[in-house]
Amino acid sequence: MLSKKSKYAINALVYLAKQEDNRMVVVQEIAEEEHIPRKFLEAILLDLKRNGILGSKKGKGGGYYLLQRPNEINLADIMRLFDGPIALLPCATYKFFEKCEECRDEETCGIRDAIVELRNQTVNFLKARSLEDILNRENELRDGERMTRQPRRSEDN
């Protein structure tokens, strides 16, 4: 399950990706617009900055901004940063491998093999989804909603 920390991080990054000319945004604005507790958001933004995803400038006119283009920031990296491994079992993780206590032979374990396959599909899916994809999807959904709200023209006129 996606943690609140990951969800808030993604929401904040999407908000920053929507800014014209990569405008710097203060924490308070993001917190208010995205309904994220300010103190929690401050810690999240600092983690994103430490990991080279965000930059910041102090003082008047300062704030946070994306260091990478929206198409370069994928969901897998954000989720791993805040939630750790994506796999459901420690023996199936890529970066956080741990041997299972009850496993007799990792190489022939059918459970591990199935979970590794699921992990691979999940990671590939999340790596292929960037902030830009999320923005495009939001625009498509918004445009689709507008189309369904418009009154239908009668064929009889």
What pLDDT does residue 101 have?
79
Are 70 and 130 in contact, with CB atoms under 8 Å apart? yes
pLDDT, one tens digit per residue, over 68-123 is 999 999 999 999 999 998 888 888 887 778 888 787 887 788 988 999 999 999 99
| pTM of full prediction above 0.85 | no
> Diameter of the chain by CA atoms?
74
Length of the chain: 157
Is pLDDT at 149 greater than 60 in this prediction? no
In the chain, domain spans? 1-70
CATH for 1-70 is 1.10.10.10
Query: Which residues in 24-63 are b (16+ Cβ under 10 Å) and which e?
Result: bbebeebbeeeebeeeebeebbebbeeeebbebeeeeeeb
